[in-house]
Amino acid sequence: MTAVAPGIAPGIYDISEAEYHADPVPGGSLSSTGARKLLSPGCPAQYRHQLSVPQEPSRVFEFGTAVHTLVLGKGAEVHVTEYDSWRSKGAAAEQEAVREAGGVPLLAEEGERAHAMAAAVLSDPDAGSLFAPGAGEAELTYIWQEPETGIWCRALLDMSSPLAVTDLKTTSDASLEGVQRSVYQYGYHQQDQWYRDAVEAIEGVRPEFRLVFVDKRPPHLVTVVELDEGAQVLGAARNARARRIYADCVRTGIWPGHADGITTISLPRWGENHDAMEYL
């Protein structure tokens, strides 16, 4: 069982996104994103490497951050430039200056689109109420110690209250089929359970969890979903394995790659079935 980290206690913290990603827990803690990176197709070695190597700014991530700020009314400052590309020296210099100040630089078209997406979310009859004043607090960090493994965990919630958590996603396909693919591809069923665990650990109540998807393409359609029991069970199981892996790695100091030694493998099931039907 990990001892209580000095200088930190389980609770709810109002800290910046930069502080959150830098990990405010002495000795380290595991986030939902980290838990997903520990599992296939990732691995502990990749997870550990990403902790020590600064990540280059991602335009996709920055745009999503901007939409979050506009919807939540909290977060990194959004700075919309007059430029239509970052190729000129003036544009590049402005982009760098905004980033250094902790803001999010957007091109003129991106700014227009981000504002339109935020307006679509806030005016949607289902999503709007989830982000309305009184629905909860935006951008709060939950820190807790997981009882089974003793590891410290953290979560930065878009909108939360003791009874409900809402997470906003930008997407290129807000159809139900597209949302299903995104949930599985990006492990949002794990995020569902991780965030519920966070609130339950601090508040003593297990909240509802909803995902709000807004399409990047006009007319910026909005889809609000809850995950069924099957998805929740699988998300919880994946989280449990990720926590055990993290605890073992911290205990041993060994962060393994995809496989140790020489491993005998088979073809992917779909490839094996195809070749068996075609050639046998």
How does the average pLDDT of the chain come out, rounded?
94
Domain finish residue from 98, 118, 138: 118
- Residue 3 inside a domain? The answer is no
- Residue 267 inside a domain? The answer is yes
Is the pLDDT at 1 greater than 50, yes or no? no
Q: Could you give the number of structural domains in the chain?
A: 2
Range with the lowest mean pLDDT among 50-54, 142-146, 173-177, 256-260?
50-54
pLDDT at residue 113, rounded to an integer: 97
The domain of 110 spans 57-118
Condensed to tens digits (0 to 9), the pLDDT of residues 63-77 reads 999 999 999 999 999
What is the domain-level CATH number for residue 184?
3.90.320.10
Helix (H), strand (E), coil (C) string for 211-280? EEEEECCCCCCEEEECCCHHHHHHHHHHHHHHHHHHHHHHHHCCCCCCCCCCCCCCCCHHHHHHHHHHHC
- Residue 202 inside a domain? The answer is yes
- Residue 206 inside a domain? The answer is yes
> In this structure, are 50 and 22 located in the same domain?
yes
pLDDT at residue 276, rounded to an integer: 95
> In this structure, are 78 and 203 located in the same domain?
no
Three-state DSSP class for residue 38: helix
Angle at Cα 153 formed by Cα 205 and Cα 252, nearest 5°?
140
Domain finish residue from 118, 136, 153: 118
Is the pLDDT at 249 greater than 80, yes or no? yes
- Residue 1 inside a domain? The answer is no
Is the pLDDT at 107 greater than 70, yes or no? yes
Residue 57: pLDDT band with limits 50, 70, 90: confident
Q: What mean pLDDT comes out for the span 18-22?
A: 92
- Residue 2 inside a domain? The answer is no
Residue 52: pLDDT band with limits 50, 70, 90: confident
Is the pLDDT at 264 greater than 80, yes or no? yes
